[in-house]
Structure 1
């Protein structure tokens, strides 16, 4: 029998790993405890709204090379939508004023010399402060490096860092933000054009991957919760599903692509992140979006940070949302009062809504917690880790999850080389 790889978890990391391994012709089996794939990145039909919605809003950038490569491999590279140029609209809820950042084509950022293209109240010199991220120490936070008390931090860096890190910039790792800036903003306008799923997250990132795996003969088993990993010496020898055990042969391998907390329950001796941050999304069914309003608007000075408009749905995202508590009606009402300014419908009755709060959306991306991220390879010679919480070199984003899956697939292909 050919060597098998058991991928435990069918979130973005697990799917990415399975796609990568199957492309090499390896025999792969995926085990997922939930009745669906995608983890936190999926779509579903909401009965109250009568619409199919994403469980959370996820933004990609044109410089997210691993994710774009993944989409191409599963035949879904035409499922994203976005502008031909990188333009970012913002609205200050306190000052009731909006503006749009309009970078120029090419790598040389001459756009910062034009007041009409940059953040109001900023000078060209303010933008060079971002270079300090490259030399940020392992214990420095984003605020320590970038917050100079000026409008650029409040109106751009704070919402940008909060969205990327899902951790308050006062405690988020500056060193971890730098790779994102380097790979997107630092590569010129073509690398940070916003991209949003044309229909939904599942239709772009999940369903095409499942279809691709089926054509390659990969079984994806749902409702298969792993209770324990049997280990003998330096190997995993069996996967305990409760009702049955799967023997792991001498040449077989296991990829554990589950959340950090689940990984810790299966491998108590492993050091993993232990603190988390929530993300809150509120979806409204609202058909009267003003003509010309961008599909994405950054919000400053309120509870919500980003507004997304797609067909007759508008959604908002609140990152690092642990403190946003209360009945769903109260949360939605507070946010509707903010975004109705942007939508030009202030004072109107709040439309049907759905509040979705993911309490453990990402690990807390502080310097201390970042140091707890384990590598893909483990001390068990046939066990590899994957997940946006592992040491990918990126924050816990879709790009980080996909990249971790690719790293895990590469690690599996080199297991015979030793740890």
Structure 2
């Protein structure tokens, strides 16, 4: 009897996760990717102008991202992440010059030395987020003032990529359950030591190839054909792939092409993320970590690697409409202030990366469970499942959600 084959369309993190899980479930795996490389929004590339390897975006993981860490274990890349031994998040307020280090842990509310200036113990009890109704937004559930601007806004906007005045409180609560409420061991920050590609993508492709997976690039899915309750043919331009009786398909595509192929009825509003990469050598960031949170500026986070300082701004709707050079000037101004560089320091060689459709807007309409909310892994065809951070994984659209979706999709078709 021939081995069941799993056809996975899309080689972003969701597709790679599904491919690894499919091999473990006993499938032969074929992986198709429309682009010339894997990784989707979690990829690295060589910038010829700067002569450096850049990530298309910056990602700060947490030790509570259990599915992501298990993914890295599968591909032998767990040691490619680095971070402090304890949960600590250094911040600086660019308007006042104040600095502090958030140190979440089992002590709830956190002790004064582990909190932001101007905040009190009761500010760190997010109980209303944990019991939020489906139509509530984050700002309905949290106190305003210093704790909002110095704690919850920088942490939750980066996780939800949606202004907190519009972001789903229920999704925020689910995130906190898997991190903050599990104590310090689930809150330790982690970043890729070298690059996203070196941590998440290249080792995964190597693992799949060693296991005999078929990987085809520049294969864009243009059609699905069904016979009764199952998909029986995939179309890639002029090429057709007929499915055997026991074969299965996972669509690990971005939400727009998946929605168009399957006529999904769901909100498609997106939020952008803005990243800036500046070629500058810095011995260390204030706070002593590879990252630094910023309050009161355009940039929200700084990341340091050898020869480069990168910035990230989430939910960057207005910013993303500006010309790249104007964005670079704003971000560089924040870097100068944060690092204490001389005023008027010239902008170094740089690259501005606009991800205008980085994630779905994670509003109550998308996350609340209504008729147009995120779909689950299963579909109306018994051999077809969906994967992607935009599917209903119970989490915001993050790396952890993408990796989890791959597992859920394989479970949905492993009958």
TM-score (norm 1): 0.95
- Per the alignment, residue 394 of structure 1 pairs with 395
Q: 2-side partners of 1:102 and 1:374: how far apart?
A: 36
Tell me if structure 2 keeps the 8 A contact 1:260–1:272.
no
Aligned residues: CA RMSD: 1.3
Mapping for residues 364-403 of structure 1, pairs under 5 Å: 364-370=361-367, 371=369, 372-403=373-404
The secondary structure found in structure 2 opposite 1:116 is helix
| Cα shift at 1:85 | 0.7
- Per the alignment, residue 149 of structure 1 pairs with 144
- Per the alignment, residue 168 of structure 2 pairs with 173
Q: 2-side partners of 1:92 and 1:191: how far apart?
A: 26
Q: Does 1:272 align with 2:266?
A: yes
| Cα shift at 1:124 | 1.2
Q: Does 1:243 align with 2:238?
A: yes
Q: 2-side partners of 1:291 and 1:69: how far apart?
A: 30
| Cα shift at 1:288 | 3.1
Deviations 1:196-239 (A, max 9, x none): 00100010001111011011100110000011111222211100
Tell me if structure 2 keeps the 8 A contact 1:62–1:194.
yes
| Cα shift at 1:92 | 1.0
Residue 351 (structure 1) aligned to one of 338, 348, 352: 348
- Per the alignment, residue 16 of structure 1 pairs with 17
The secondary structure found in structure 2 opposite 1:78 is helix
Distance 1:165 1:10, change over 3 A: same
Tell me if structure 2 keeps the 8 A contact 1:235–1:383.
yes
Mapping for residues 290-369 of structure 1, pairs under 5 Å: 290=284, 293-324=288-319, 325-345=321-341, 346-369=343-366
Tell me if structure 2 keeps the 8 A contact 1:282–1:317.
yes
- Per the alignment, residue 417 of structure 1 pairs with none
- Aligned residue pair count: 407
Tell me if structure 2 keeps the 8 A contact 1:271–1:374.
no
Q: 2-side partners of 1:289 and 1:122: how far apart?
A: 31
Tell me if structure 2 keeps the 8 A contact 1:236–1:380.
yes
Q: 1-side partners of 2:201 and 2:267: how far apart?
A: 26
Residue 226 (structure 2) aligned to one of 228, 231, 234: 231
Tell me if structure 1 keeps the 8 A contact 2:382–2:413.
no
Q: 2-side partners of 1:145 and 1:168: how far apart?
A: 14
Q: 2-side partners of 1:272 and 1:13: how far apart?
A: 19
- Per the alignment, residue 76 of structure 1 pairs with 77
Q: 2-side partners of 1:31 and 1:70: how far apart?
A: 20
Deviations 1:142-163 (A, max 9, x none): 01111x2221111010111100
The secondary structure found in structure 1 opposite 2:268 is coil
- Per the alignment, residue 116 of structure 1 pairs with 113
| Cα shift at 1:262 | 0.7
The secondary structure found in structure 2 opposite 1:206 is helix
- Structure 1, unmatched stretches of 5+, are 415-419
| Cα shift at 1:49 | 1.3
Q: 1-side partners of 2:118 and 2:38: how far apart?
A: 45
Q: Does 1:190 align with 2:188?
A: no
Q: 1-side partners of 2:267 and 2:60: how far apart?
A: 24
Tell me if structure 2 keeps the 8 A contact 1:273–1:389.
no
- Per the alignment, residue 285 of structure 1 pairs with 279
